[in-house]
């Protein structure tokens, strides 16, 4: 029986890159997103071409009721969950200096990127514990996709940085709590990745990368993140719970 992975925000960008690599490595896939199911038909078809059973779970992770519905749909369809990939995230609707940023924007970003992820993890973790208690051979893990913004300050999108820094601590908290059940929790921290979220700043980052922003002078791609997540999901780092996997082309290496 195949292992099952739930990827939030899995219908586009980094999330799709992750879902595709997991499907290619033999996982059945549940992807979550806020769009109507009809809008992600091509994505589901592409994932199924890898031989995966694919379920689309519409829902907003910032909503308590939607989080419960997503987990219930996975239970009803698959009856099991081995890997949760918390990838869903939003950027500020408008980049504003922290001296001018609004509470509305802060709440919007935090409720999805941090609060939603935190409590979806709680639901999935409790289910994984139940599976482990029923079957000692059960193996599960949780993978949080954060950002270099967890430690790299951008004063024109402070709410995003705070959300990712919080997610980094949430990774450590759940890693400690789930250690007794041998359910590792990891953080994957991407750098500048070529997605629709960064498309509006393409010219800016093209120049920065050309000028040496990253050690590896290119954009990152969703498949770069997908490969890292797949390695973790496959159990290739069983003794590394709570650790951060950098996927940033060397951007955050201190240099003189």
Q: Can you name the residues that pair with 246 across neighbouring β-strands?
A: 189
Whole-number percent of the chain with pLDDT over 70:
100
Model pLDDT, residue 19: 98
On the question of pLDDT at 200 being above 90, the answer is no
- Burial profile 198-218: b = 16 or more Cβ within 10 angstroms, e = fewer: beeeeeebeeebeeebbeeee
Domain presence at residue 253:
no
Query: Are 232 and 22 within 8 A, CB to CB?
Result: no
Model pLDDT, residue 196: 82
With tokens 């159990």, the residue in question is 235
SS3 100: coil
Model pLDDT, residue 221: 97
Region 103-121: mean pLDDT is 98
Domain presence at residue 200:
yes
On average, the pLDDT of the chain sits at: 97
Please count the structural domains in the chain. Answer: 1
Whole-number percent of the chain with pLDDT over 90:
96
Domain that holds residue 142: 4-247
**Token pair of 19 as six digits:** 């879902």
Domain presence at residue 66:
yes
- Burial profile 154-193: b = 16 or more Cβ within 10 angstroms, e = fewer: eeebbbbbbbbbbbbebbeebbeebeeeebbbbbbbbbbb
pLDDT band at residue 32, thresholds of 50, 70 and 90? very high
pLDDT digits (tens, 9 = 90+) for 61-100: 999 999 999 999 999 999 999 999 999 999 999 999 999 9
Model pLDDT, residue 197: 79
Domain presence at residue 47:
yes
Query: What is the set of active-site residues?
Result: 160
Model pLDDT, residue 198: 83
Domain presence at residue 193:
yes
Domain presence at residue 126:
yes
| pTM for the whole structure | 0.97
SS3 55: strand
H or E segment to which residue 217 belongs: none
Residues 6 or more apart in contact with residue 117 via CB below 8 angstroms: 8, 61, 86, 88, 144, 167, 170
Domain presence at residue 255:
no
Give the sign of the dihedral formed by CA 232, CA 81, CA 221, CA 227.
positive
Q: How large is the C-alpha radius of gyration of the chain?
A: 18
Domain presence at residue 256:
no
Residues 6 or more apart in contact with residue 237 via CB below 8 angstroms: 184, 186, 231, 243
On the question of pLDDT at 199 being above 90, the answer is no
Q: What is the CATH number of the domain that holds 9?
A: 3.40.50.720
What does the alpha-carbon distance between residue 146 and residue 132 come to, in Å, rounded to a whole number?
Answer: 27
């Amino acid at each position: 029986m195949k292992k099952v992975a739930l990827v939030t925000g899995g219908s586009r960008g980094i999330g799709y890159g992750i879902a595709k690599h997991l499907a290619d490595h033999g996982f059945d896939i549940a992807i979550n997103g806020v769009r109507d199911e009809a809008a992600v038909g091509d994505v589901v078809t592409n994932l199924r071409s890898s031989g995966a059973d694919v379920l689309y779970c519409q829902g907003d992770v910032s909503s308590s009721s939607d989080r419960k519905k997503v987990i219930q749909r996975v239970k009803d369809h698959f009856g099991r969950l081995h890997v949760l990939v918390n990838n869903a995230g939003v950027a500020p609707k408008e980049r504003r200096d922290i001296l001018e940023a609004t509470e509305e924007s802060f709440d919007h970003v935090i409720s999805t990127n941090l609060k939603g992820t935190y409590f979806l993890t709680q639901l999935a973790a409790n289910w994984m514990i139940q599976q482990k208690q029923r079957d000692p051979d059960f193996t599960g893990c949780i993978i949080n996709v954060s950002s270099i913004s967890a430690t790299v300050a951008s004063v024109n999108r402070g709410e995003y940085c705070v959300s990712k820094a919080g997610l980094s601590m949430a990774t450590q908290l759940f890693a400690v709590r789930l250690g007794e059940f041998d359910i590792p929790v990891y953080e994957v921290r991407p750098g500048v990745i070529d997605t629709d979220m960064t498309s509006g700043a393409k010219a800016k980052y093209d120049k920065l990368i050309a000028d040496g922003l990253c050690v590896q002078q290119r954009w990152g791609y969703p498949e770069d993140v997908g490969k890292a997540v797949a390695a973790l999901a496959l159990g290739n780092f069983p003794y590394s719970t709570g650790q951060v996997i950098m996927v940033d082309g060397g951007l955050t290496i201190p240099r003189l």
